[in-house]
Chains A and B, each alone.
Chain A
Amino acid sequence: MTETRDGAPPATDGGDPPDGSEFGVDDDASNGPRIEFRGGKWASTVPLVFFICWAIFQSGVLGIGDTNGLVAGALVGTTLGMFLVRGDWKAYADTIFEGMTQRVAATAIVAWLWAGMFAETLQVGGFVEGLIFAADALNVGAATFPAAAFVLCGLLATGIGTGYGATVAFVTLFFPAGVLIGANPVLLFAAILSGAVFGDNLAPVSDTTIVSAVTQDADIGGVVASRFKYAISAAVPALAAYLIAGSVMSGVALEGAVALRESANALGLVHLLSMGTVIVTAVAGRHIVEAISWGLLVAIAFNLLFGLSSASDIVAFTVTEAGALTGLPVVEVGETAGVGGSLYAGAVGFFPLIVLTLLIVAMAQIMIRGGGFEAIQAALLDRVATTVRRAELTMVLGTATINGMITINTAAEIAIAPYVARIGEKFNINGYRRANILDANTSALGYIFPWAGGVLVGYQVMVGPDGLGAEYGPEMVVNPIEVVPYVFHGWFLLAIFILAAITGFGREYIPDRASEEVSRA
């Protein structure tokens, strides 16, 4: 096959907008609305629109980053929609089940559970302390501290897959050490958030990476490999920007490098190999569950072999009274009976997001069966996304807008994913490319604005009852609004994708290559 770089545009490019029917909109009776709503097909958008309004009010207006709160919003929205249905409500209830049992939700859930176990096991295995050792060994000073924070937090987030977790770990341990040796607090917090963006965007075990891949029918390993070019194109100038800004933005002169050294542990760096195991096996085309399982085994082996954690840090059965089995390394005596450890906590940590995902997918299915989905899609294809360039810009700006509004970026990503899939497919844009467009803004915008979840979790570490402000003083508290312009990697990632949509950088079409069917997940 051959390729025309930028040939003369077809009739649709600058000419008459295409007829929606040409692209499969409203042209198949078998896919027509199955649920009749009072108020027409647009009423089928009520559950999801109500949920988005709830999410904006809760997270954007009130600044509450609680996933369980969004679950309540989704439940109320789904219930409200039912009252708008004409006739029997059974079809509506059946559609909720139909949406929840879609493979796209199940696949994401399975990957999250494994990713959660892996991430938590790296945490208890001292990975953060290993990265702090690296910073100390490299003799990082005040001016280069933000750049080091960006790189090391990026590494941690790539390893554990959760930008929120990496932000909490680095703001707790790395941030005060940096401020104490004179790094600018605003720049340092922003650099940590940039690292979180990098890892959230690139890690194969990241919740947003998993959602972006499975909703666009692409394998996770292939998505990570295809994403690298965008991530590195934004990360290199971001690193340079932190080096430059670090040298011109002064901090508070406090002496406290000792605090940094106290928590350092070189052995924690062995988890770079655990992280590498997952990345290499996933990119090599193995199923993500298999890839993470291998990484998990390596991480557990390192933890136990090098004494980085005890067996009970990984799995712990707590009983209230001593007995014959309390001699086992995974059985402990405590005040309250229960199960704990990294495998337990890592998986449980995803439960709220799993429930939320099921509800969002159900609300999307209601929109599809009610005709609202196709109505919005037709409007976009007829009036906005009339060429492949405009379609990609629509996808980029659409994901940016919704992620700018909703604090919890994974929830925003799941809500916009069906549109990215359908609009992209209408131009045969490859699933890898669609997944990359979807995830870039999801990751970037989730860590920039003051109401973004990533910013809020870091800020909470500073202002909480036992936070950094209480412990060290007001120098350790950064106003989230000040951070906005300095989350360089987030801004550069957004800029890269706008440029990519305009110039065609990285664009691939479906005929170019197929996702790896056997290992897809």
Chain B
Amino acid sequence: MSVFDKFLAGWSFRGSTPAYAAGDVIEVMVTGDGDRPGEVVARIGDSTLRIADAPADAVNTRVVVEVESWDGSAHAGRATYRKTVGESAF
């Protein structure tokens, strides 16, 4: 991202329910455990992404995931864990 782009980033009104599309590869913070074994949850704004095949200690880590499906009306989707790239700031 150029210096100019950095100054222009975020000049918009962003909604509370971001949406993603199948095939998107994104970095997210894992915010909680899911309902099934090996599943964790990343809440992005007021949207929810359920991540399969995540490590047991994934909560509060930053992970790269590939979005498998997205339900625009429920603001929820499913994704597959790819790798861990960081952890919580605290």
Q: Which residues on the B side are within 8 Å of A283 (C-beta)?
A: 3, 6-7
Contact check: which of A1, A13, A216, A509 meets B89 at CB < 8 Å? A216
Contact check: which of A3, A9, A422, A510 meets B62 at CB < 8 Å? A510
Given the interface pairs A5-B15, A225-B3, A425-B29, the reply to whether A10 lies near B9 with Cβ below 8 Å is: no
Q: Contact at B90–A5, with CB atoms within 8 Å?
A: no
Q: Contact at B16–A30, with CB atoms within 8 Å?
A: no
> Is B52 among interface residues, defined by CB-CB distance under 8 A?
no
CA distance A489 to B16 in the complex (A): 28
Q: Contact at B13–A504, with CB atoms within 8 Å?
A: yes
CB-defined interface of B42-80 with A at 8 Å, one 1/0 digit per residue?
A: 111111100000000101101000010000111110000
A window 1-30: CB within 8 A of B: 1-10, 12-13, 21-25, 27-28, 30
* Number of A interface residues in the complex (CB < 8 A): 62
Q: Contact at B3–A280, with CB atoms within 8 Å?
A: yes
Q: How far is the CB of B27 from chain A (nearest CB, A)?
A: 6
Q: Which residues on the A side are within 8 Å of B43 (C-beta)?
A: 22-23, 426-428
Given the interface pairs A24-B30, A428-B45, the reply to whether A3 lies near B9 with Cβ below 8 Å is: no
CA distance A433 to B18 in the complex (A): 15
> Is A388 among interface residues, defined by CB-CB distance under 8 A?
yes
Among B10, B41, B67, B88, chain A packs the most CB atoms within 10 A around the CB of: B10
CA distance A356 to B12 in the complex (A): 38
CA distance A215 to B89 in the complex (A): 6
Q: Which residues on the A side are within 8 Å of B27 (C-beta)?
A: 510-511, 514
Q: Contact at B31–A23, with CB atoms within 8 Å?
A: yes
Q: Contact at B18–A503, with CB atoms within 8 Å?
A: no
Residue of B nearest to A229 (CB): B11
> Is A205 among interface residues, defined by CB-CB distance under 8 A?
no
Q: Contact at A225–B31, with CB atoms within 8 Å?
A: no
CA distance A418 to B90 in the complex (A): 6
CA distance A4 to B77 in the complex (A): 14
> Is A448 among interface residues, defined by CB-CB distance under 8 A?
no
Q: Contact at B13–A5, with CB atoms within 8 Å?
A: yes
Q: Contact at B18–A3, with CB atoms within 8 Å?
A: yes
Q: Contact at A4–B19, with CB atoms within 8 Å?
A: yes
Contact check: which of B16, B57, B86 meets A388 at CB < 8 Å? B16
CA distance A508 to B59 in the complex (A): 21
Given the interface pairs A4-B75, A28-B57, the reply to whether A513 lies near B9 with Cβ below 8 Å is: yes
CB-defined interface of A55-87 with B at 8 Å, one 1/0 digit per residue?
A: 000000000000000000000000000000000
> Is A421 among interface residues, defined by CB-CB distance under 8 A?
yes
Among B12, B30, B67, chain A packs the most CB atoms within 10 A around the CB of: B12
Residue of B nearest to A284 (CB): B3
> Is A387 among interface residues, defined by CB-CB distance under 8 A?
yes
Q: Which residues on the B side are within 8 Å of A228 (C-beta)?
A: 7
Q: Contact at A426–B90, with CB atoms within 8 Å?
A: no
CA distance A28 to B26 in the complex (A): 24
Given the interface pairs A215-B89, A418-B90, A427-B45, the reply to whether A10 lies near B17 with Cβ below 8 Å is: yes
CA distance A80 to B23 in the complex (A): 54
Q: Contact at B29–A10, with CB atoms within 8 Å?
A: no
Q: Contact at B6–A3, with CB atoms within 8 Å?
A: no
Q: Which residues on the A side are within 8 Å of B17 (C-beta)?
A: 4, 6-10
Residue of B nearest to A361 (CB): B90
Would you give 6 A-B contacts (Cβ < 8 Å), ordered by A? A4-B18, A13-B16, A215-B90, A503-B13, A506-B12, A513-B9
5 more A-B contacts (CB under 8 A) besides A10-B75, A510-B29, A511-B44? A2-B21, A8-B75, A23-B31, A504-B13, A505-B12
The 5 A-B residue pairs whose C-beta atoms are closest, nearest first, are A225-B6, A507-B14, A511-B26, A217-B89, A421-B89
